[in-house]
Amino acid sequence: MTPQPGSWAIARHRLRLDTAAVVVLWIPFTLVVAAIYVLVGLYGNLSTSVWEQATQAPRWFAGGLGVYLTAVYLPLYITHGQTRRQFATQMPAFVVVLAALLAALITIGFAVERVVYDLGGWLQALERAHLFDGVDQYPVVLLEFWLVFMVWIAAGALVGAAFYRRPGLGLLLVPVVLAIVAAAELAVGTAFFGPFPEPLLTAAGVGLEARPIPVAVITCFTLAVVTAGLTWLVIRDLPIRSQAA
Amino acid sequence: MTMSIEVRDLELRYGNVTALDRLSFRLDGGKIHGLLGRNGSGKTSLLSVMAAFRRATSGDAWIDGQPVFENPDVASDICFIRGEGDTVVHDWPADRVKDALAFASTFRPAWDSDYATALVDRFRLPLKKRLGQLSRGQRSALGITLGLASRAPLTMFDESYLGMDAPSRYVFYDELLADFMAHPRTFVISTHLIEEVSSLFEEVVIIDEGQLVLHESAEELRARGAAVTGPTEQVARFAQGLTILGDKQLGPTRSVMVYGELDDGQIELARESGLELGPIALQDLFVHLTESRGRTS
């Protein structure tokens, strides 16, 4: 047999490509957010954190990246001589690192915003509950977004794999993955409800409030592991689709 | 480095449709094998199982005695190019020809970058062009480049000439043979352009409706019939009672393809009658074998 590609070849390949992609996409994203600061500053009143609102976009980016991982890249890796199991064992490590990178960029954003708000004399108030009380609790900010991004990427990967395998299965799993990310968001106290209407949550006694850090960590890790397990069930014998004529 | 392939009782079903029906055969390593079959005969399904693109419903494919599906020890030794090749077409912005080559070079352990560059030049592929902007023939040429430059011990091409013009197809055949001579390995080529490629085949597998019709050396297969050429009258007399697969008339000269191995007496008779005996065209044999099977089934 020919010597095989180095161990963790898929994870290293993805890290090289996606780190570059995140850095490149972060530039226009921050420019758009900067433009929002200017508009709000000119025509309104900067009294809350704009960056907190802006963190919605990276969440969807993380979810989309998860979809791409399984719907586009997994078939490519298999057609280039990798196995489904190699992909499944290397992806969690990659997701952990990429989520950390995204969380670090978010944390840096909060830090930069704090400096700008201090210079302008504005109030960097938060509109939602978080694991952190103030944005200067940088390690907790990093932790919260790391947990959230991990679950979003994992959820995206699950629904991407399901759609690749069978569109009907993908549709069936859409509410499931929305529930998964909503549960993660509720665990850190923010306000993404997914398929759950707020009154339903209130009736169930699930308030949008800050929760203890250990609860959030255990909940998000459990969700990520369960999602990865479901993804494995979908991809373990995934047939590579025939090409369209 | 070459690899042998074996399939045992291979069965693949898509719902109620049986694509491969208890197929068993063994292909020796270090040869160029032709895989022939009519549309829908199960060729692509068979190659997909042999490349671990699909799991068989039952039975398995074995490479050098190791099961193929989900086996990291052999996975990167197998390169299966379907049609125009599976590559980075949806991987925007890294979806250019050069990105496709870079992707393959990362995961193909025996990848030869210099050879890939030479093939890109021979096929006149634009390195910076997006895959979505390539013509179908260019996409096929890229698939061939990825397959040949992978130098995978088992390389399989499935209709990898779609959209290519004749000169480009001949470049493919020339390169395949030259590279096979320089770096012996196992090739399986599935094609409908039988006459163009048949001279490359050492062994031929014909399948139909998911079942094995025959597996023979190309030489033995060609000996299953003969092309008889000569004056019309003599050819007609000679061919009387034989199964005729094809018949051509050019002025006073007639050429017929007869099926069935000729015995010494028939060969002697042909010589005495001034008839020329030649090898039968593989394509005519293929048509006969699969058509007669269709009639009997």
A5 closest CB neighbour out of B84, B87, B107: B107
Question: What amino acid occupies position B267?
Answer: I
Across the interface, whether the CB atoms of B107 and A80 are under 8 A apart is answered yes
pLDDT on residue B293? 57
Question: What amino acid occupies position B228?
Answer: V
Could you report the per-residue pLDDT of A221-241, keeping only the tens digit for each? 999 999 999 999 999 999 998
Nearest CA in chain A to B55: A237
DSSP secondary structure, chain A, as one string: -PPPPPTTHHHHHHHHHHHHHHHHHHHHHHHHHHHHHHHHHHHS---B-HHHHHTHHHHHHHHHHHHHIIIIIHHHHHHTT--HHHHHHHHHHHHHHHHHHHHHHHHHHHHHHHHHHHHHT---B-SS--S-SSTT-HHHHHHHHHHHHHHHHHHHHHHHHHHHH-HHHHHHHHHHHHHHHHHHHHHHT----TT--HHHHHHTT--S----HHHHHHHHHHHHHHHHHHHHHHHTTPPPPPPP-
pLDDT on residue A4? 61
pLDDT block averages, 10 residues each, chain B of length 297: 89 95 96 95 96 95 94 94 82 87 95 97 95 93 96 95 92 96 97 91 95 92 89 92 86 90 89 89 85 53
pLDDT on residue A140? 96
Burial of residue B5 (number of CB atoms within 10 Å: 0-12, 13-18, 19+): buried
Could you report the per-residue pLDDT of A116-126, keeping only the tens digit for each? 989 888 888 89
Provide the 10 A C-beta neighbour count for residue A16.
Answer: 11
Cβ burial B108-119 (10 Å sphere, 16+ → b, else e) = bbbbbeebbeeb
pLDDT on residue A29? 94
Interface list for chain A against chain B, based on CB atoms closer than 8 Å: 1-5, 9, 13, 17, 72-73, 75-86, 237, 239-240, 242-243
Query: Could you tell me where the DSSP H helices lie in chain B?
Result: 43-50, 72-75, 97-107, 113-122, 136-149, 166-182, 194-197, 218-222, 232-239, 264-272, 282-296
CB B225 within 8 A of CB B259: yes
CB B164 within 8 A of CB B190: no
Residue in B147, B70, B89 with CA at minimum distance from that of residue A72: B89
Could you report the per-residue pLDDT of B7-58, keeping only the tens digit for each? 999 999 999 999 999 999 999 999 999 999 999 999 999 999 999 999 999 9
DSSP secondary structure, B71-140, as one string: -HHHHTTEEEEETT---STTSTTS-BHHHHHHHHHHH-TT--HHHHHHHHHHTT--TTSBGGGS-HHHHH
Across the interface, whether the CB atoms of A1 and B64 are under 8 A apart is answered yes
CA distance B15 to B13: 6
Matching residue, tokens 């490629």: B197
CB B82 within 8 A of CB B144: no
- Which of chain B's residues have a Cβ under 8 Å away from the Cβ of A81? 75-79, 107-108, 152
β pairing state of B211-217 and B203-208: antiparallel
Could you report the per-residue pLDDT of A7-53, keeping only the tens digit for each? 799 999 999 999 988 988 999 999 999 998 888 877 877 888 999 98
Q: How far is B108 from chain A (nearest CA, A)?
A: 7
Percent of chain A with pLDDT over 70: 90
- Which of chain B's residues have a Cβ under 8 Å away from the Cβ of A240? 48, 53-54, 86
Report which secondary-structure segment, H or E, holds B187.
Answer: strand B186-190
Nearest CA in chain A to B53: A240
Q: What average pLDDT does the structure give for chain A? A: 90
Q: How far is A164 from chain B (nearest CA, A)?
A: 13
Across the interface, whether the CB atoms of A86 and B72 are under 8 A apart is answered yes
Could you report the per-residue pLDDT of B188-215, keeping only the tens digit for each? 999 999 989 999 999 999 999 999 999 9
Across the interface, whether the CB atoms of A80 and B103 are under 8 A apart is answered yes
CA distance A40 to A27: 20
Bridge partner list, B154: B78, B186
Provide the 10 A C-beta neighbour count for residue A48.
Answer: 16
Cβ burial A131-148 (10 Å sphere, 16+ → b, else e) = bbeebebbebbbbbbbbb
Bridge partner list, B250: B253
pLDDT at A192 over 70: no
CA distance B48 to B199: 25
Query: Can you say how many angstroms the Cα of residue A201 is from the centroid of all Cα atoms in its chain?
Result: 23
Tokens of B134: 């390539």
Taking each helix axis from N to C end, the angle separating B97-107 and A9-43, rounded to the nearest 10 degrees, works out to 130
- Which of chain B's residues have a Cβ under 8 Å away from the Cβ of A73? 91
Half-sphere exposure of A69 (CA within 13 A, CB side): 32
